[in-house]
Amino acid sequence: MDKVKLYYNRESDTMDIWFDDPAEETSSEEAGDGTILKKNKKGLVIGVEKLYVTKMLGISQPLPVEVVVS
């Protein structure tokens, strides 16, 4: 993968950050504080999921999302 990919889900208030192809995920591990590590079959971290994003940022509504393509 050439770029990091971010996905924000307003309904679940979660953000996924992928360093590799999300289809390669085979397991996940809770790392604490609402953070989940997503791993491939070799056990390497290929993504991170952050739960309760608005709570973490101290805001009361879902994030406004702007898509920038470069």
Where do the domains of the chain lie? 5-57
- 22 vs 8, 15, 53, 54, CA distance in Å? 14, 13, 20, 23
Q: Model confidence over 8-56: pLDDT tens digits?
A: 888 898 999 999 999 999 999 999 999 999 999 999 999 999 999 888 8
Q: Residue 70: is its pLDDT beyond 50?
A: no
Q: Is pLDDT larger for residue 1 or for residue 40?
A: 40
CB 64 within 8 A of CB 42: no
CB 26 within 8 A of CB 41: yes
